[in-house]
Amino acid sequence: MDTGRKAIFFDIDGTLYDRERSEELPGSTKLALKKLRENGHRIFICTGRVNCAVEQPLRALHFDGMILGCGTQIIYHGRELYYHRMDAETVYHLMGLVRQEGGLAILEGKDALYCDPPAPDSQLYAYYQKRLRQLDDLLKPIFGQSWEISKMTVRFPKEASERRQKLLRRASAWVTVIDSGKSAEFVPKGFSKATGIAYILEKLGINREDTVAFGDSMNDYEMLSFVGHGIAMGNSSEEILALCDDHTESVYEDGIYKACVRNHWI
């Protein structure tokens, strides 16, 4: 078993914790991260979330860096190394497509997220209210102010499957579409969690074979394919479980800690 120092990349939602179930990271995960640092491994968040959506309790865990917005922003030891802003033409075109097909667009920037509320009688209104509670003053209206974003998330009513698929097909000419079922992420072409990791490896002189990633959903697919050792959480989608040879327990069954012990990283 290779016990050398690793660069280890962690998805947030469904991997470090599941905010639908709890606002707290498992204690075993916090302990694993602490022991990884003590053993000389470098640890990174690698997420579809943009910078402003990473909560302070996560920041307090002393990650070496963060790959944000599916590779569109990269931070190392508190310093921004890279940021890609979506061009306005693409954003306005995609917003038009979303409106035509009855979806709800959330624009995601490093300092705020932007969304115009749907009608109160819409199926999407409850989802909007939930996101408003989660994000508080970070969620702002789209129109009537200036904004910058690096990616988008789109939500659809449950019964709109045909319109949803039509939108995703049309949008794929402009962006990379990551379909997670409940929602879809629109990411600028050429960017992914894997490209963010590649950028970090080049900057820091880390060998690809010395990289590890933990993930659970389709926006982790390229990351888990790229690293030297990809680990699927027990709560992963079928596609992710099929992709990875190494499976660990789910997020609230101490999956990260147990995988780190089995692989002799802690």
Average pLDDT over residues 124-150: 90
Residue 1 — very low, low, confident or very high, per pLDDT cuts 50/70/90? very low
Residue 3 — very low, low, confident or very high, per pLDDT cuts 50/70/90? low
What percent of the chain is predicted at pLDDT more than 70?
98
Q: Is the pLDDT of residue 230 over 70?
A: yes
Q: Is the pLDDT of residue 45 over 80?
A: yes
**Cα–Cα distance, 77 to 197 (Å, whole number):** 15
**Average pLDDT over the chain, rounded to whole?**
94
**Cα–Cα distance, 63 to 67 (Å, whole number):** 11
- Per DSSP (E only), the strands in the chain are 7-10, 42-46, 65-68, 73-76, 79-83, 104-108, 113-114, 139-140, 151-155, 175-179, 183-188, 211-215, 229-232, 246-247
Q: Do 67 and 46 meet the contact criterion of CB atoms below 8 Å apart?
A: yes
pTM of the model: 0.94
Average pLDDT over residues 97-112: 94
